[in-house]
Amino acid sequence: MTATAKARWIVTTETKPWVESELEISAIAEVPDTFAQLDKPKQIIEGFGASFNELGWTSLSQLADSDRAEVIRNFFEPGVGLNFNLCRMPVGANDFSRDWYSYDETEGDFGLDNFSIANDLETLIPFIKAAKHHQPNLKLWASPWSPPTWMKHNKHYAAAQPHPLMNQEPNGLRDDQVGAEGTDMFILDEPHLDAYARYFGKFIDAYNQQGIQIGMVMPQNEFNSAQVFPSCTWTPEGLAKFVSHLGPEMEKRGVEVFLGTLERGDDSMFEKVYADGEAGKYIKGIGAQWHGKFAIDAIHKSHPDLRVYQTEQECGDGQNDWRFARYSWGLMKKFFGAGANAYNYWNMSLLSGGRSRWGWNQNSLVVVDGATKTYRFSHEYYLLKHVSNVVAAGARYIPTIGWAGFENQIVFQNPDGSIVVVIQNDLNVPQQVKIAIGEHMIKPILPADSFSTFVIPA
């Protein structure tokens, strides 16, 4: 770094997103408020992304072709917007699909003779191919929300009935079909376990035939949660039995298996599966979301060689407001501080209000107005861009030490040696902060209620 080098400075406030300027870099001549511990680099950052969902594609399809292409470019084109390089997708229906479906709903089809991804040819596959046009090296991982209904004890896609106070859509679930946390809704006999593992294999193979490679799978989304939408509860013991079948099917295809997605703050849910002699040898990482953030500290400490993916940023309520962007910043700090190697947002795009097929309102990075056929980027889009736009794959998370009141930042070192500092001023007045990076210092005055990113050259 030369004596005249300047840091790139990007600021976002509620009313003015992504305002760029420069900031002087100086030698350390006074006591800093916070120190970047460059001599103690932590986990490697593999990337950032979101989930390919059917309602994401159907909402974007309401836009003019040029507008849709520009949105996808801003998600995936390197150096333009979010720089997404590592994304999630469902195996069959999820809560933001058009309706319930699986790839084989023929009762007792243990040979999977009727397996088909025809549904995905209308939505998920064109969505992913549009993304790969801008990011050919896009990495994908996948998880199911529900197995085919004939593989489940209740013979239904859902596991809970709509709540009378939440204005949810009816799903036809009877009282005797309701599932519960701590139970296995999947039929845990050899024929069903074997068929379901091969079902994953046929899914990988079918997508390969479309020119789409999936590099990792997780056996179940939120395996403790009985939901009104596609869902299936599993015990750790049940998951261990399934992973023992799933692992060999994925191994012969070169596909990794992570244990997830964990949505409870209980690390024993992971440890019981990982301790199984047969299942544990196939598990290469842990996927956590929602309250799973309270379990990954312990898991990462006990198993530092296992990778950690934040698999779904909490979803909001469809208002896409500044309040939730501020909350989402706390999630980012928590997951990266606990060892996350990757960070996934949830819905890329939804219609205004963000309502799902089952009456679930959630936020999205792009909000599409179906009446005017226009779109806007949400506050969370810009917040995520403050990190993903400038943190390259292969970067290292850098821990920091700060005085009380100066602990609201995350720092990374890119493979080219540049340093990225992302910091929030959560006060309603401007705040100066003195940040030490190696032998140098920056001393910005942060605007009130703002997010700032500083890129310090090597």
Residue 24, domain extent: 6-41+397-456
Tell me the β-bridge partners of 44: 396
Q: Are residues 28 and 155 in the same domain?
A: no
Look at the chain and report how many structural domains it folds into: 2
Q: Are residues 324 and 405 in the same domain?
A: no
pLDDT band at 163 (very low <50, low <70, confident <90, very high): confident
Q: Examine the pLDDT at 3 and tell me if it is beyond 60.
A: no
From CA 399, how far away is CA 342, in angstroms rounded? 16
Q: What is the CATH number of the domain that holds 289?
A: 3.20.20.80
Q: What is the CATH number of the domain that holds 426?
A: 2.60.40.1180
Residue 344, domain member (yes or no): yes
Q: Are residues 92 and 122 in the same domain?
A: yes
From CA 425, how far away is CA 448, in angstroms rounded? 6
Of residues 153, 253, 163, 259, the one with CA closest to residue 204: 253
Tell me what the mean pLDDT of segment 204-211 comes to. 98
Q: Are residues 371 and 412 in the same domain?
A: no
pLDDT tens digits for range 284-325: 999 999 999 999 999 999 999 999 999 999 999 999 999 999
pTM: 0.96
Q: Are residues 15 and 99 in the same domain?
A: no
From CA 22, how far away is CA 14, in angstroms rounded? 21
Residue 345, domain member (yes or no): yes
Q: Are 155 and 177 in contact (CB under 8 A)?
A: yes
Q: Examine the pLDDT at 44 and tell me if it is beyond 70.
A: yes
Residue 1, domain member (yes or no): no
What is the percent of the chain where pLDDT is above 90? 97
The predicted structure's pLDDT at residue 2: 58
The predicted structure's pLDDT at residue 166: 79
The predicted structure's pLDDT at residue 41: 98
Q: Are residues 37 and 70 in the same domain?
A: no
Q: Are residues 167 and 284 in the same domain?
A: yes
From CA 86, how far away is CA 311, in angstroms rounded? 11
For residue 272, which amino acid is it? K
pLDDT tens digits for range 51-64: 999 999 999 999 99
> Domain ends where: 390, 409, 430?
390
Q: Are 431 and 425 in contact (CB under 8 A)?
A: yes
Residue 104, domain member (yes or no): yes
From CA 63, how far away is CA 397, in angstroms rounded? 38
pLDDT tens digits for range 227-273: 999 999 999 999 999 999 999 999 999 999 999 999 999 999 999 99
> Domain ends where: 349, 366, 390?
390
Q: Examine the pLDDT at 405 and tell me if it is beyond 90.
A: no
Q: Are residues 32 and 63 in the same domain?
A: no
